[in-house]
A and B are shown apart, each in its own frame.
Chain A
């Protein structure tokens, strides 16, 4: 069992089909009689729609139908919505805005959805879309969150005065101010967390299908959470009752958060499929993806850290302006609040913390969760200011962290910003990272770089993450519109194979392998006899999906709980067949034994007996071996670690190369170390992308998206990232049955601060992300001018 059990680096079962081109993505789906949708999108950042003339388009060859905002209003389709109601500092609910699936009378960002043309082919739909004549009255636009807050700024929605969705606070302001009065030293920092465009390799796609005979609607769509989509399509968009809607999210080529949300296009194709009585398919092209996928980050922050004379943290104040875009996306409101402010304690025993966040509307695409969602932004603030403080106090950055870490003996630890950390050993991860990264040898390496005319720097990031948002009762009290449990069904077949139905959704994470290992290890079934099914509301129990690094900790625990029930039922069956007492029956790795005897029975035999119940008293023991469980966690899980980055800057060109990157992470118990390492690599790659390359830029005057394609938006390529050195420490999560935490976002959370701290160390001048060669060079010029 060891070679496929928990802890084994099993090759991913799903890769056979992915690597041989046999995957089944949404765009691979073709339904009989299928039509194609093309959306007419706003070329303006802000405009009033005077009129929409669809006559020419409707008459064009190959065009099946054209629908506009008026049509969806007439059909009384519901509005897109924000599923988390944040309460502001005065106890008032945040401001919300209507968001029709096709714009009513105003467009509010470049790419806003105005009309849809449905054609016999993609080309016919695209040609038809060009014939839709929209009479726009262009209006002034505001794209920066800071500008949107200024008095007199253009209003994005009339229901949101001053463009302020909420002014939210967390922590004890009075205690924090008192701490600052006692401070021997205060470090201040201003930071921009750059806006990012997710860019999953598979763009969003949807196929709507309607069966007239059964009145059933099926939506095949790129979703990380098909049941959440079904609920929204029914309860909010009001297309049909939940019983009449099936949502299928088949193989999905990456999500990074951007496929959590309910988007206009998928609502429209499903509604239109019923309206025209034919399947409707839409696949975003890359330009549409850049314009209309929910973007990530976009924070402007001022922070201050108060310390005593020994560098002990006394208080921490953070003030952030978060750009939420033109409309509130599904979970947008929670990202800069409950997923950000709550993480500002980091790994430190800072006694007083106060955080205020202003959520702001602008004429840009909606902003929502993107790999890490709030937690990268928090880590970036904490780890940049800690390193800046170390520089100012001339204390080694590792030493300053060590002085302020929450001690391993202090858990569970209640932070001043709501969370209770369950476990941790921060100094353990730091020490291991220092050793693996050969921190002691840095000075030697720096001298060698200097000899070659290069500037070398080192930077740290000791991050904390909170995965698997929970429990449902708590998130409900904070304004969440959903519960955050997970569902699983473990179904034995009569011949001993197992099908696992999980509410988690895999869009690159390798669940088909990890979950099979989990089940195989405990139930003694070879993993090739375990099928993992996900992503289809017609097959799986009501699940919440995959985001926030929750799948193993929450979804895996639900599977474990279902296995508890399977084992308990098997025990009943064995007790009857062996004529033994249930209390005497032991279960281990798929085998039941009766204590004190040589009697035994495998779980496979039990399954056969359960489905062919010739010898069972079926009035007392139901036939079958099929159990469902819902698991609601007691708390978040809290992965942590230290990443150390060394960079070399070419002072002539400003180009940064990453010379060395060490990541020591603590994810608790590991099921498949190869998959975990892959997740860490990918996360760091995205973190380095944010630090060095990626920036979504809108023109300040016109609101046009300047980084609307790969020609101008720089994603990291293989040669932009180094070979990583990764390692683990193991502090199991104490409150879930598997002792696991979550690994999907850690790299993206930790890496930006580590890289930027290293560059700052190298060049001795402040700068913002992304640290492009041009920006680094400009910072060096500025420093030189100052010195002169």
Chain B
């Protein structure tokens, strides 16, 4: 690890002011990606601004048909929240399957979504539930948030403060882990929002995306087979030593099928 200056932010404004002042500063939430990268000397930020003290960004509220999760809320807290389990059980399932216990105690929803790792779990739920990303500047709809590999709509000086998930009628999340890292090779979040079907996919492409063909099939018939029989085109999907684009395309249908079964209580 290279040397860097450490700062502990006292507020969102303070964090962003310190970030602005730093020559090559980074905000650190749970640090589950940034810290290992720095330890391998692959990242060399001049300053780290630790958001760990921002208590206002931590917590879960259910209000007005929405589950609002503060950006600094740990995966463990989402997975074990009685409110989340009641309102959107699939979201608790998703959070409980991220990484391992150590990662879940440290990692945060804001950190995950800001990083937009192509195989992270949360992006599937953000798209699948049609969430709203709240920042210090504005609110961003899920559909216009994910832009590409590790690329989002966030601008310089912009920081996620919370994510608001509309409560769905029913929802399910299934992932197929990459055998080594156990990140999602493919993860599919299916939701019957009450005003339509949404299917968010992670792991398969450069960033999370919606599987519109499966949404259309499920709109006609919300059954596992309706999802499972949709053939997904492999063009543009990820391909590596762990699985071809064709395999990932196939898994999108299979995971969607199983997510629907889970949503139906199977």
Contact = CB atoms under 8 A, between A and B. Distances in A.
Interface of A: 123, 126-127, 130, 287, 652-655, 693, 695, 697, 706-707, 710-715, 772-774, 777-778
A774 B176 CA distance: 11
Contact of B241 (A655, A706, A777): A706
Contacts of B41: 126, 130
A593 B76 CA distance: 69
Contacts of B179: 693, 714, 772-773
Interface majority SS (helix, strand, loop, mixed), chain A? loop
B150 to A, nearest CB: 15
A655 B181 CA distance: 16
Interface residues of B, number: 16
B176 A653 contact: yes
Interface string B178-207: 011100000000000000000000000000
Contacts of B242: 712, 772, 774
Residue of B180, B244, B247, B254 contacting most chain A CB atoms (<10 Å): B180
Given A653-B176, A710-B181, A287 B244 contact: no
Contacts of B251: 653
B8 interface: no
18 contacts: A126-B41, A127-B2, A287-B40, A652-B254, A653-B251, A655-B176, A693-B179, A706-B241, A710-B181, A711-B180, A711-B181, A712-B242, A715-B180, A772-B179, A772-B243, A774-B242, A777-B247, A778-B244
A699 B33 CA distance: 25
B40 A712 contact: no
A697 B180 CA distance: 13
Nearest to A715: B180
B180 A774 contact: no
Contacts of A654: 247
B47 to A, nearest CB: 18
B147 interface: no
Contacts, number: 44
B250 interface: yes
Contacts of A287: 40
Nearest to A770: B179
A773 B251 CA distance: 11
Interface of B: 1-2, 40-41, 176, 179-181, 241-244, 247, 250-251, 254
B40 A697 contact: no
B181 A774 contact: no
A777 B250 contact: yes
A267 to B, nearest CB: 26
A711 B179 CA distance: 9
Nearest to B257: A652
B187 to A, nearest CB: 13
Nearest to A693: B179
Nearest to A130: B41
Nearest to B242: A774
A773 B244 CA distance: 11
Given A773-B179, A774-B247, A712 B254 contact: no
Contacts of B176: 653, 655, 773
B180 A714 contact: yes
Most central of A130, A653, A714 by chain B CB within 10 Å:
A653
A784 to B, nearest CB: 12
Contacts of A126: 41
Contacts of B181: 710-712
A713 B180 contact: yes
B254 to A, nearest CB: 5
B243 to A, nearest CB: 4
A711 B247 CA distance: 19
Contact of A778 (B2, B241, B247): B247
Contacts of B247: 654, 774, 777-778
A711 B117 CA distance: 14
Interface-central residue, B40, B242, B247, B254, by most chain A CB under 10 Å: B247
Contacts of B40: 287
Contacts of A693: 179-180
A287 B39 CA distance: 12
Nearest to A706: B241
A657 B251 CA distance: 18
Given A287-B40, A693-B179, A712 B250 contact: no
Nearest to B3: A123
Nearest to B228: A652
A776 to B, nearest CB: 10
Contacts of A710: 180-181
A716 to B, nearest CB: 10
Q: What 3 A-B pairs are tightest by C-beta distance, nearest first?
A: A714-B180, A774-B243, A714-B179
A126 B2 CA distance: 10
B2 to A, nearest CB: 8
A285 to B, nearest CB: 8
A763 to B, nearest CB: 15
A652 B251 CA distance: 8
Contacts of A778: 244, 247
Given A126-B41, A655-B176, A773-B243, 20 more contacts: A123-B1, A127-B2, A287-B40, A653-B254, A693-B179, A706-B241, A710-B180, A710-B181, A712-B181, A712-B241, A712-B242, A713-B180, A714-B179, A772-B179, A772-B243, A773-B179, A774-B242, A774-B243, A777-B250, A778-B247
